[in-house]
């Protein structure tokens, strides 16, 4: 099934393919530089994704020749001072810093240019697939600010403290090969294969048991943010909850019958 959503926001496209939501940054003439409208559209898309049980994975990508050049610098000061980047309860911050948070996985598929706020959007997902030749950068310190969309914190989680400071403090660029080497991205593919590869991985995630995926995410995130002990403490409760589900029973049955599981999320 393929379904294209309304065009309320022309600068962000959404499309459903099976159980996957595609979210496309759509300001290609400006290298998808992020605007207030785009943040609003992304927040709405994330809310829709998280609340729809039929959607099991999402892919964030960019239209045109580049994934994202970062925030539109001509709007950034007004966005911050107006409170447009402040999110309350039930609102989905595309950077994942406050408000509600996605409980389901998001894959970032990047190409051409992945800079600043665009990279921070990608780092708020589970992992990044990059096209060969993609350039990455967190250049905020060269523009008088810092990576306040989560980059200053998440780089170290992805690549280690010293590797993070190497790029956060200099603002220098790195290519896809180096980004892969240090763990910033998890796979590099030819540009022509990027979208199909990201969709393939999203489909594989969508075919897995939804509660298993969500609980895996919850425990992994807790370990990363609060420590392994906190993740251990919540695991027994989640273990008890999940073994009694229909999907757990289907997992056992499909294993015995040597077939893929047909999971419903219950």
The residues that are catalytic are 120, 140
CA 219 to chain centre: 17
In sequence order, the 6+-apart residues with CB closer than 8 A to the CB of 116 are 69, 70, 71, 137, 138, 139, 140, 147, 149, 151
Contact 23, 58 (CB under 8 A): yes
φ/ψ of 244, rounded to 5, equals: -95, 5
φ, ψ of residue 203 in degrees (nearest 5): -65, -35
**67 close to 112: Cβ distance less than 8 angstroms:** yes
User: Using CA atoms, how far apart are residues 28 and 50, in angstroms rounded to an integer?
Assistant: 27
DSSP secondary structure of 117-139? HHHHHHHTSSEEEEETT-EEE--
DSSP character string of 28-81: GGGTT-B-HHHHHHHHHHHHHHHH-TT--EEEEEE-TT-SB--B-HHHHHHHHH
Residue 85 · residue 31 · CB < 8 Å? no
Contact 130, 187 (CB under 8 A): yes
What is d(CA 167, CA 227) in angstroms, rounded to the nearest whole number? 25
């Amino acid at each position: 099934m393929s379904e294209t959503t309304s065009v309320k926001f022309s600068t962000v496209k959404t499309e459903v393919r099976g159980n996957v939501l595609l979210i496309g940054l759509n300001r290609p003439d400006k290298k998808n530089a992020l605007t207030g409208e785009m943040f609003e559209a992304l927040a709405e898309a994330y809310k829709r994704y998280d609340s729809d049980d039929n959607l099991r994975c999402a892919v964030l990508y960019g239209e045109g020749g580049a994934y994202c050049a970062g925030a539109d610098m001509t709007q950034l000061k007004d966005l911050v001072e107006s409170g447009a980047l402040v999110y309350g309860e039930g609102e989905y911050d595309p950077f994942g810093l406050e408000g509600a948070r996605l409980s389901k996985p998001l894959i970032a598929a990047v190409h051409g240019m992945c800079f600043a706020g665009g990279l921070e959007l990608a780092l708020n997902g589970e992992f990044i697939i990059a096209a060969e030749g993609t350039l990455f950068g967190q250049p905020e310190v060269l523009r008088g600010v810092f990576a306040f969309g989560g980059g200053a914190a998440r780089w170290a989680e992805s690549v280690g403290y010293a590797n993070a400071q190497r790029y956060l403090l200099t603002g220098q660029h790195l290519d896809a090969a180096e980004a892969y080497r240090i763990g910033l991205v998890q796979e590099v593919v030819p540009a022509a294969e990027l979208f199909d590869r990201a969709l393939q991985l999203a489909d594989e995630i969508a075919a897995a048991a939804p509660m298993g995926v969500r609980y895996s995410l919850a425990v992994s995130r807790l370990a990363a943010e609060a420590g392994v002990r906190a993740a251990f403490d919540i695991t027994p409760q989640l273990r008890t909850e999940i073994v009694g589900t229909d999907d757990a029973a289907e997992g056992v049955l499909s294993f015995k019958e040597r077939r893929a599981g047909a999971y419903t999320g219950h």
